[in-house]
Amino acid sequence: MPQYRYQARSTTGQTMSGVLAAENAPRAAEVLRNQGHFVLQLVPVQNTANRGAGFLSVLNYSSGPSSKDILDFTTQLAVMIRAGINVRSALEGIADQVTNPKFKKMLLSMRMDVESGKQFSEAIAKYPKQFSPLYVNMVRASEMAGSFAKMLDRIASYLGQEIETRKMVVGASIYPGVIATMAISVTVFLLTFVLPRFADVFKGKEEALPGPTKFLMALSAFMVNYWYILVAIAVAAIIAFFVFVKTEIGRLWWDRTKLTVPIMKRMFRALYISRSLHTMGELLNAGVPMLDTLAITGDISGNLLYKRMWRNVYGAVKQGKKIQSQLNRTKLLPKSVVQMIAAGEEAGKLGEVLDEVSVFYSKALRDAIKAVTGMIEPLMIVLMGSVVGFIAMAIILPIFKMSNLVSGH
């Protein structure tokens, strides 16, 4: 059974603390209240595995909190709010458990803001890198509606799904990268260590060598003697790519490329649609105004083309038009999705429709990632086999040719 470390005040005003075993945090708080105590703080006792994870994650504590840290914070805060603990005490209790110095400092600063009379949404808005506009606006809407704990659960669910989606996409991107790295490494090894061993064998017989062998021998000699030039060119190309992608033109080119590459476009298209519709649905269901929802959806979409699309929708809605009027002009969303959005808008159930469509595209994203991974593996194997086979052929052909000449004499 989970254990919770508590701090409470008795009816006589005496402060006490200890550890209590209960099914969940609300049950632990109920037990303390039944004993006549006022709960000041209630936090789960970390088990050995969690402490080990905290020890390992201390390696990353030179930076601020990660997405996983924010998810854990949101989940824990929701539990403590449901248990009847006020926000100020909850923030203080969570800060005591945090080992990331920067995150602890943030939480204590947020506690001071709340203590001084600010809303929680105002306190987290000071940290836009950790708390996105979606997070801030959903919290703000819940403060107005009086459903703070429930909204934190929704936010935690959203963050958890986003982290899982990011892991799937990164995993699908890493796999072909690893295969490509292996292919390049094998090729470099063959050209710089294997081929030079045959240079003495073919020395003085250059005219008799076939074209592929001459080409590879020249390339091998260049790589061995001028490898530093190739390394410099590779490093410069990588740096230039990242600098270019950070520019407006480069970002637009890269985002468009991801939607046009034959193998990858299905995955990225499903990713951007799923993320956009999921974000939009969550915000609308939280009670965030439509214009704010559209602006935030564009910023969180993750692709400049989709961002522009949602900004255009924002402009149309601001002029009093319907969402469908602008979406009908774009090819970034399937017509079926636009039709469902239009139907939800007419029926006044747009949030519910968006939730259902986003679930469908989340499944489509998982299927696309599996398809991409399944297609890349054989393609990389064929490519790697072709390169190695070409090099082997370039080495073996002249040996056979010379053997035939010798046997002919």
What's the CA gap between 83 and 5, in Å, rounded? 13
Contact (Cβ atoms closer than 8 angstroms) between residue 130 and residue 41: no
Confidence class for position 198, pLDDT limits 50, 70, 90 = confident
> Residue 7: phi, psi to the nearest 5?
-135, 125
pLDDT of 41-81, one tens digit each?
666 765 434 444 444 444 443 467 888 899 999 999 988 88
Give kind and range of the element (H or E) at residue 8: strand 3-9
The tokens of 246 are what? 């950070």
Contact (Cβ atoms closer than 8 angstroms) between residue 388 and residue 190: yes
> Residue 35: phi, psi to the nearest 5?
-85, 0
Give kind and range of the element (H or E) at residue 285: helix 265-285
Share of the chain above pLDDT 70, in %: 88
3-state SS class at 289: coil
| Amino acid occupying residue 239 | I
Nearest of 285, 311, 286 to residue 296 by alpha carbon? 311
| Amino acid occupying residue 235 | V
Task: Taking the CA atoms of 327, 257, 250 and 270 in sequence, report the sign of the dihedral they define.
Answer: positive
Share of the chain above pLDDT 90, in %: 13
Residue 213 CA neighbour count, 13 Å, CB half: 22
DSSP class of residue 387?
H
The CA–CA distances, whole Å, from 366 to 217, 326, 335, 361 equal: 45, 29, 21, 9
pLDDT of 138-159, one tens digit each?
888 888 777 788 888 888 888 8
- Per-residue pLDDT at 409 exceeds 70: no
pLDDT of 315-336, one tens digit each?
999 998 888 888 888 889 889 8
CA 7 to chain centre: 37
Taken in order of first residue, the domains within the chain and their CATH numbers are 3-131 (1.20.81), 165-409 (1.20.81.30)
Nearest of 337, 336, 311 to residue 326 by alpha carbon? 311
DSSP class of residue 15?
E
For residue 122, the tally of other CB atoms under 10 A from its CB is 16
| Amino acid occupying residue 330 | T
Nearest of 192, 221, 225 to residue 206 by alpha carbon? 221
pLDDT of 210-268, one tens digit each?
778 888 888 888 888 888 998 999 999 999 999 999 998 999 999 999 999 887 888 88
Contact (Cβ atoms closer than 8 angstroms) between residue 45 and residue 74: no
